Structure 1
Amino acid sequence: MQSQQSPVPSGTSRRTGFASSAELDDLLDLATSSTSSRSTPQPASPIAATPEPESLPPMPTSRNDLFASYREYQKKIAALAFEVRKIEAHLFGDHWDSVINTPETKSPGDIAYLAIENLLKQAEKQYAPPGGTLTIDRSAVFRDLGLDERSHWRFIEREALVPFDLARMHAYLADAYGGDAGETAAYKQAAAELIKFFRFDDTEAVATTKRHVACTVRVWSNHKDYAPKGTLEVSYNEHQRISRAFQALACVMAWAERYDLQAALSRSAIAGYCFTFKSRQRETFPGLGIIAFKEKWTFEFDHSVAEKLRLFLGQYGA
């Protein structure tokens, strides 16, 4: 292994492997001066010196002062972090924790998507009618803004070559759904959902008697595992359909000011994933009865409720 050569001052002989006494003195002086320059701070040149920022106080020397300074900076950082979290919660909504806690898995496109999705959810909540729900078509929003949805995210991944403008989207949503427009859109969506679920366009699906108006709906159920014999549960694919129908009915009842039925439908467990029943089991609501069979459900509306439903569909179901 070759040893590294020490710096040699000018005038040192390299003709032999030995140095003269004068050359040794020069080497000793050089080693001493380099050691002292490393251990003892040298005064900085006025030209090369970099001035300290005026906002930073001089570094304390005692441990107590250091601890006090640390606590002071910690308070400032905590206050700043609190303000940042408020911004994140407002910008990303329910998804803000995933942006902060797992930033390594969030690309610029992911973060932009969460910000836009939160803005759309806020608009759905803000412009929905009382007791109802509003669904905003994401693809329609991008189309109306002149953006292609899939290429938009691809361009965001490439340093946002397509303009990413939340303020423009916010203004578009306010213009498209503000005032009565959002409520009207939600009512039309509820009417379309009920017409599809109850098959109101099929006259044979509705039967009128002196006591009620009955609508029979095909609902597929299965025997529940590890439950008493005869226990049924709605099949997995039917849950979302029933849930949307209950939300639409609650919206209609809020519009008709039948708040008792609207509240009962909103908190009912029938549309939940844990609902189980026996064949011919009857569920009763104010002005509505539901008889559940294995392969169909019968909804029996009181005539007063059926009349409100008819008026609603006549106004928003066209």
Structure 2
Amino acid sequence: MFTNLVHLFKTAQDAAERAYGNVLAAEKEAFADLGAGYTAMNTRSSYATERELQEFCSRLTGRLVMEASRKFAPGSGRLDIDKDAELKRFGLDVGKVLEAGKLPDLDGFWQHLEKTYAGDAGREVAFSQAAKAIINGFWLKPDSQIKRTSSAVVLEKRVSSEVSFRSSGKRRIHYGSTQTLALTLDGLATFAFKHDFGALGQHLKHCNVSDLEFETRQKMSFNGLDVVMFNDKWQFKFSHQVGDALSLFVSEYGAEHLASRDRY
């Protein structure tokens, strides 16, 4: 199925080359006195054609990985798959295959992705990735002391901000913090969906940190979570129910990564 797409693309390239050749022949016939060899019709070099095919195959393998990430993710959670790593595990070098005059086995590559990530396997990977993102985001270590009050379990994340030039008196997240914050929120969203905190998961998943503007000490309230935003940190106040479930989630899926952070 997917390998056939490459075959169809190659067939289209061959048909285009013949069509361009017909135009070039007609032009030469129309201008009997071409002289210096100038032509209005420019045909592609074999190198350009080969590069075009390789770029198509690269984009197609990328789309297969995107589809696997979407299809095998746990519910509304997130699953990250490294395209280059999976191609290496499967033993497919697209460039070398094309250089040999063959078509890459993309059907086999998809079967590899299915075998690796379908069902419980993909969910377990996604949960481990989420736990890692949470551990890294809150800079947790094996000996971290988690603050627990009478009403909340509190974690803090360093988030740099700067004065917004669009709205007077407001701040926006510094570009250097947007990616790590987004990864942390994605990890929390995957955790929330796993433990049936669906409304919280939806809020976290659709929180656009790139465009967010806020005032110092402003609070965002979700189901089971309040987030207080300061100039250089965000304070996450989880309800006891959510906080206790988060602690179990990190212990179950992030124990190995958490232990490794003892070296930092």
Alignment of 1:1-318 (within 5 A): 107-147=52-92, 152-153=94-95, 155=96, 158=99, 160=101, 164-201=104-141, 203-204=143-144, 206-228=146-168, 230-269=169-208, 271=209, 273-318=210-255
Query: What are the ranges of 5 or more consecutive residues in structure 1 without an aligned counterpart?
Result: 1-86, 93-98
Q: Distance in 2 between matches of 1:276 and 1:213?
A: 25
Give the number of equivalent residue pairs. Answer: 213
Q: Distance in 2 between matches of 1:226 and 1:189?
A: 35
How has the CA–CA distance of structure 1 residues 160 and 244 changed in structure 2, closer, same or farther, with 3 Å as cutoff? farther
Say if 2:76 and 2:190, in contact at 8 Å, map to a contact too.
Answer: yes
Say if 2:61 and 2:83, in contact at 8 Å, map to a contact too.
Answer: no
Percentage identity across paired residues of the two chains: 27
TM-score computed with the length of structure 1 as normaliser: 0.61
- How large is the RMSD of aligned CA atoms in angstroms? 2.5
Query: What are the ranges of 5 or more consecutive residues in structure 2 without an aligned counterpart?
Result: 7-12, 14-43, 256-264
Q: Deviations over 1:265-297 (max 9, x none)?
A: 22334x2x1110111111111111111111111
In the alignment, residue 194 of structure 1 is paired with which amino acid? I
Deviation at 1:125, TM superposition (A): 0.8
Q: Distance in 2 between matches of 1:248 and 1:308?
A: 14
Q: Secondary structure at the match of 1:216?
A: strand
Q: Distance in 1 between matches of 2:92 and 2:76?
A: 32
Q: Distance in 2 between matches of 1:197 and 1:205?
A: 15
In the alignment, residue 172 of structure 2 is paired with which amino acid? E
Deviation at 1:226, TM superposition (A): 3.9
How has the CA–CA distance of structure 1 residues 166 and 291 changed in structure 2, closer, same or farther, with 3 Å as cutoff? same
Deviation at 1:257, TM superposition (A): 0.7
Q: Secondary structure at the match of 2:88?
A: helix
Q: Quick check: which has more Rg, 1 or 2? A: 1
Q: Secondary structure at the match of 2:228?
A: strand
How has the CA–CA distance of structure 1 residues 223 and 205 changed in structure 2, closer, same or farther, with 3 Å as cutoff? farther
How has the CA–CA distance of structure 1 residues 160 and 206 changed in structure 2, closer, same or farther, with 3 Å as cutoff? farther
